[in-house]
Amino acid sequence: MFNLFKNNPATSYTNVSAAEFKQLQEDKNALVLDVRTAGEVAGGKIKEARNIDMLSGSFDKQLQELDKSKTYLLYCRNGNRSAQAASKMASMGFDKVYNLKGGIASWPYEQTR
Protein backbone atom coordinates (compact mmCIF):
# COMPACT_ATOMS: atom_id res chain seq x y z
CA MET A 1 0.00 0.00 0.00
CA PHE A 2 1.30 3.47 -0.89
CA ASN A 3 1.85 5.67 2.16
CA LEU A 4 1.48 9.30 1.11
CA PHE A 5 2.96 10.67 4.34
CA LYS A 6 6.07 8.53 4.31
CA ASN A 7 6.96 8.87 0.64
CA ASN A 8 6.27 12.56 0.18
CA PRO A 9 8.31 14.69 2.58
CA ALA A 10 6.45 17.82 1.52
CA THR A 11 3.32 16.47 3.22
CA SER A 12 4.84 14.75 6.24
CA TYR A 13 4.49 15.24 9.96
CA THR A 14 5.47 13.11 12.94
CA ASN A 15 3.16 11.36 15.39
CA VAL A 16 4.58 11.47 18.92
CA SER A 17 3.69 10.02 22.31
CA ALA A 18 2.62 12.22 25.23
CA ALA A 19 6.14 11.95 26.73
CA GLU A 20 7.75 13.01 23.43
CA PHE A 21 5.21 15.84 23.03
CA LYS A 22 5.99 17.11 26.54
CA GLN A 23 9.72 17.02 25.79
CA LEU A 24 9.19 18.93 22.52
CA GLN A 25 7.29 21.61 24.47
CA GLU A 26 10.55 22.59 26.15
CA ASP A 27 11.83 23.99 22.84
CA LYS A 28 11.40 27.79 22.98
CA ASN A 29 10.68 27.70 19.24
CA ALA A 30 7.72 25.34 19.72
CA LEU A 31 4.08 26.39 19.72
CA VAL A 32 1.29 24.13 20.95
CA LEU A 33 -1.88 24.25 18.84
CA ASP A 34 -5.17 22.86 20.11
CA VAL A 35 -7.36 22.33 17.05
CA ARG A 36 -10.55 21.51 19.00
CA THR A 37 -13.66 23.66 19.27
CA ALA A 38 -13.89 26.38 21.93
CA GLY A 39 -16.42 24.23 23.81
CA GLU A 40 -13.98 21.33 23.98
CA VAL A 41 -11.14 23.62 25.07
CA ALA A 42 -13.30 24.97 27.91
CA GLY A 43 -13.11 21.52 29.51
CA GLY A 44 -9.33 21.74 29.78
CA LYS A 45 -6.27 22.19 27.60
CA ILE A 46 -2.54 21.63 27.58
CA LYS A 47 -0.72 24.51 29.26
CA GLU A 48 0.10 27.42 26.93
CA ALA A 49 -1.79 25.91 23.99
CA ARG A 50 -3.22 28.27 21.40
CA ASN A 51 -6.67 27.33 20.13
CA ILE A 52 -7.19 27.31 16.36
CA ASP A 53 -10.45 25.46 15.72
CA MET A 54 -9.99 23.17 12.73
CA LEU A 55 -13.73 23.21 12.09
CA SER A 56 -13.93 27.00 11.83
CA GLY A 57 -14.22 28.73 8.48
CA SER A 58 -11.07 30.74 9.19
CA PHE A 59 -8.79 27.76 9.94
CA ASP A 60 -6.78 27.94 6.69
CA LYS A 61 -6.37 31.72 7.03
CA GLN A 62 -5.12 31.36 10.61
CA LEU A 63 -2.60 28.73 9.48
CA GLN A 64 -1.32 31.02 6.73
CA GLU A 65 -0.54 33.66 9.38
CA LEU A 66 1.77 31.33 11.33
CA ASP A 67 5.56 31.46 11.12
CA LYS A 68 6.73 28.44 9.10
CA SER A 69 10.14 28.45 10.83
CA LYS A 70 8.58 27.47 14.18
CA THR A 71 7.94 23.98 15.54
CA TYR A 72 4.24 23.11 15.90
CA LEU A 73 2.83 20.60 18.35
CA LEU A 74 -0.79 19.77 17.49
CA TYR A 75 -3.48 17.94 19.40
CA CYS A 76 -7.23 17.44 19.51
CA ARG A 77 -9.44 15.08 21.52
CA ASN A 78 -8.30 11.74 20.07
CA GLY A 79 -5.65 12.66 17.48
CA ASN A 80 -7.76 12.46 14.31
CA ARG A 81 -8.44 16.13 13.63
CA SER A 82 -4.93 17.12 14.68
CA ALA A 83 -3.50 14.54 12.25
CA GLN A 84 -5.58 16.11 9.47
CA ALA A 85 -4.45 19.59 10.54
CA ALA A 86 -0.81 18.43 10.70
CA SER A 87 -1.07 17.02 7.19
CA LYS A 88 -2.55 20.29 5.94
CA MET A 89 0.23 22.30 7.59
CA ALA A 90 2.90 20.05 6.10
CA SER A 91 1.37 20.47 2.64
CA MET A 92 1.48 24.26 3.19
CA GLY A 93 5.24 24.13 3.75
CA PHE A 94 5.55 23.79 7.53
CA ASP A 95 8.61 21.61 8.18
CA LYS A 96 8.40 20.87 11.91
CA VAL A 97 4.92 19.54 12.68
CA TYR A 98 4.18 17.00 15.41
CA ASN A 99 0.86 15.34 16.23
CA LEU A 100 0.02 14.04 19.72
CA LYS A 101 -0.84 10.39 19.16
CA GLY A 102 -4.14 9.68 20.93
CA GLY A 103 -4.88 13.38 21.46
CA ILE A 104 -5.52 15.01 24.82
CA ALA A 105 -7.25 11.78 25.87
CA SER A 106 -3.73 10.28 26.08
CA TRP A 107 -2.26 13.25 28.02
CA PRO A 108 -1.34 12.13 31.57
CA TYR A 109 0.03 15.54 32.58
CA GLU A 110 -1.62 18.62 34.08
CA GLN A 111 -4.21 20.53 32.07
CA THR A 112 -5.36 24.12 32.51
CA ARG A 113 -8.76 25.71 31.99
CA distance 111 to 39: 15
Chain-centroid distance, C-alpha 34: 6
Query: Catalytic positions, please?
Result: 76
**Considering Cα of 23, then 12, then 45, then 63, what sign does the dihedral take?**
positive
Residue 31's SS3 state is strand
Cβ-based neighbour number of residue 89 at 10 Å? 22
Number of CB atoms found within 10 A of residue 95's CB: 15
